[in-house]
Amino acid sequence: MQIFIDSADTVELAALAATGLVDGVTTNPSIIAKAGKPIFPTLKAICEIVSGPVSAESVALDHDGMVAEGRKLMAVAPNIVVKLPLTMEGLKACRTLTEQYGAKTNVTLCFSAVQALMAAKAGATYISPFLGRLDDGGQDGMELIREIRAIYDNYGYETQVLSASIRTVAHVRDAALAGTDCATIPPNIFRALYKHVLTDVGLEAFLKDWKASGQEI
């Protein structure tokens, strides 16, 4: 499973990318606005930090506007993925950008399996189902991942499932078990993935015993 970081903080992204465990980055208008810097220099810096896919979202609402913005975003770097909303205009733009301009696309704000089916038919490179937001509304977000996985496998769609709106380490685990291709997670969740209290306890015991032995390596 590929792990993406959901952030536009270039300092933090550089630190996490140094682990060699970051496969890509996702952004959205809210994340870019929070970074407090102009969008194009920020995206360029992110693409220099991470060689994998970097999702950058259009803010237009109509097909022509999305295509125009998508082409501008694509010009930033070869690893830019144009992010589009799961609307009729967004799906039309997905088809145009994919077929006419060779863009990689990420169709976002997916909340149902049939929406994911439509995105795959439109040629999306990635589909982003929002787990946490479904959970917030009392629905089972992980069931959506299982449904999308089954539909894509049934028909051989190449669109990759990119689990988004991940709030916990358990979300990452369950998404992996459900067969997601990728998960995009906040930096704090990424840092929590390798942690376990028994790991810390075991390491402390090993080092205590080694120190008592008086040996060196």
The pLDDT value given to residue 35: 93
DSSP string, 179-192: T-SEEEE-HHHHHH
Longest dimension (CA), the chain: 71
* Active-site residue list: 83
Q: Which helix (DSSP H) or strand (DSSP E) does residue 64 occupy? A: helix 63-74
Q: What is the pLDDT of residues 99-131, one digit of tens each?
A: 999 999 999 999 999 999 999 999 999 999 999
What domains can you pick out in the chain, each with its CATH number? 2-213 (3.20.20.70)
Q: How far apart are CA 73 and CA 29, in angstroms?
A: 13
**Residues β-bridged to residue 182:** 2, 162
Q: How far apart are CA 175 and CA 181, in angstroms?
A: 9
Take residue 209 and report the two structure tokens written for it.
């015993």
Ordered per-residue pLDDT tens for the chain, 217 residues: 999 999 999 999 999 999 999 999 999 999 999 999 999 999 999 999 999 999 999 999 999 999 999 999 999 999 999 999 999 999 999 999 999 999 999 999 999 999 999 999 999 999 999 999 999 999 999 999 999 999 999 999 999 999 999 999 999 999 999 999 999 999 999 999 999 999 999 999 999 999 999 999 9
Residue with tokens 């769609």: 157
Q: Is 188 exposed, middle or buried (0-12, 13-18, 19+ CB in 10 A)?
A: exposed
Report pTM.
Answer: 0.94
The pLDDT value given to residue 4: 98
